[in-house]
Amino acid sequence: MKKLILCLALILAAVSLSAYGVSFRPDIYYTQKEAPREAAHTYEAWLKLPKGYAGRAGCITGNFDMTCHSVIFEVHAAGHPRLYIMGKNFRTADIKFTSVNAATGKFVHLAIVLDEEKHEARCYLNGKLRETVTEAPMPSAVRPLSDFETVDPAIPLIIGGDRRYGNGAYFHGQLLSVAEFSTMRSEKEIRGDMYDPDPGDPGLLFYYDLRKAEGKDVLEDLAGNYPAYREKNPNYTKPEDMWSEEKDIDNGPIAWSIAFLGDTQVVNDLYPEKFHLLIDAILAKKDEYNIKYVMGLGDITNRNLPREWELAKEQYDRLNGVIPWGVVIGNHDGSKEYNAAFGTPEYRASCDGVFEEGKIDNSYRFLTVGQNKYIVFTLEYGPRDEVMEWAGKLIDEHPECKAIITTHCYLFRDGTTMDAKDMYPAAGRPNNGDDLWEKYFRKHKNIQLVICGHDPWDLVVCRQEKGDAGNMVTQFLIDPQGTDANLKGACLICFLGFSEDGKKAYVRYWSADRDMYYIKDNQYEVDLE
């Protein structure tokens, strides 16, 4: 009798819920303002997808922004539920339930329980266990799942999508409710959750009832912890604007350029067979862009491994005698290994000076192009005050030169200088981006450019602000590591072109893997004065 009542209840629930639910778009999402303070171990949702939906159905909740410390709860291709976790050094647990199909054309209740003690994940459909996946079929998950740090406090969750640029993985069906628990729910508890979780349950992280919520500006968290707010996605890009061919870009005004390689760590570690494409493209475009310098912006390696250093050195050395070049040290790069790989007599000879004898972590060189004279710095990660005072003295001693500063960590993706509250500050280092600006960069009238990597983003971010002397300081963030992770090695190069008089700059963001320009908004002009 109890089974009959439960079956009737399920049928009635499906019928009564079918008139409700929230549909999602890539340009609109709901976002938490604060990330859950505990990692989830149970993920639940009422959802509806077209029957037989073959493509990727999209994220139910996710904070994945192409960096590590991220999690996605989604329905993947062919209706298969999936839990994707990315932890330190981009180590991943990719858990797909290939025996379960949530694309039924009807509302179904989906639940995934992550059991770290047993190293397994369990998938439930309409309150019934349908599939168990152990760690064995997940070859990339070589450590206990507890080591993956599934929720980073700095990254709030998106409901019905995630934080990748353009929100291309938004949910393609309807959601009626979403709940996550810090505890592992039993089958009996999951059945009870189908008819509204208990808001007082101490394990409930959040619970959104989306019935009749379509178009509302705020999703109330019935657990009272994390309301979600409807926002327009500021980074939405139409698919037709993602890639441009050579013929679609006018490079006419570019008289000469500098080629910047943002964080190469993902290509170096995960797609080493593609690393050569970066240098191939720079050499192929040497004359087209009249490339006068090549600069790496740090995180040359991902895990500071010998094979990564050998590959990076092998490829950069191809530029010797062809185009002058330099490399900044990043937080993923050990100073000992960095100096061993690049502190060669030939590289040292390319520098006009270093801060410490025997080390290339902080160096400078002079560059003259036509009537334009520059002093170009490579500075350590989160530079020390004494390093900045050394650089400032050199800048002031050469007023005939415009100064170009390169350092690994400086700008955040929102265009503000990096501070301790941002996602990946220069932890444990003397100076973050805001310190560098306030204490140093604004005070020297001939600083023209500050260029960094470190914070992964699909856009080449530009910030312009006047220094104390009224000079315009143009600052760029160039970091393709997340794009490389998402597109499996896009091999992006930023060609920063200049007008003949050096007063205008032209950003061109090129994928050496696709032989195309990446995102139309990344091809733009900047007035340097």
- State residue 333's pLDDT score: 96
**Distance spanning both ends of the chain, measured CA to CA:** 80
Kindly report the backbone phi and psi dihedral angles of residue 364, in degrees, each rounded to the nearest multiple of 5, phi listed first.
-145, 160
Kindly report the backbone phi and psi dihedral angles of residue 214, in degrees, each rounded to the nearest multiple of 5, phi listed first.
-55, 125
Is 267:274 a contact under the CB 8 Å cutoff? Answer: yes
Residue 329 CB neighbour total at 10 angstroms: 26
- Which two structure tokens, joined as six digits, stand for 404? 């170009």
Domain ranges of the chain: 20-232, 257-527
- Which two structure tokens, joined as six digits, stand for 499? 């007008």
CATH code of domain 257-527: 3.60.21.10
Provide the H-helix boundaries in 67-207: 187-193
Kindly report the backbone phi and psi dihedral angles of residue 59, in degrees, each rounded to the nearest multiple of 5, phi listed first.
-80, 135
**Angstrom distance (rounded) from CA 342 to CA 313:** 7
Amino acid at the residue 430: P
DSSP letters along 294-335, please? EEE-S---SS--HHHHHHHHHHHGGGTTTS-EEE---TTS-H
Summarize the confidence of residues 47-72 as an average pLDDT: 86
pTM across the whole model:
0.79
**Angstrom distance (rounded) from CA 411 to CA 269:** 24
Give the E-state strand segments of 350-478 in sequence order. Answer: 353-354, 363-369, 372-379, 402-409, 447-453, 461-466, 472-477
CATH code of domain 20-232: 2.60.120.200
Q: What is the pLDDT of residues 479-507, one digit of tens each?
A: 999 899 888 899 999 999 999 999 999 99
Q: What is the pLDDT of residues 186-228, one digit of tens each?
A: 999 999 999 889 998 989 999 999 987 877 899 999 999 999 9
**Angstrom distance (rounded) from CA 254 to CA 162:** 37
- State residue 154's pLDDT score: 61
Summarize the confidence of residues 65-72 as an average pLDDT: 75
**Angstrom distance (rounded) from CA 449 to CA 460:** 14
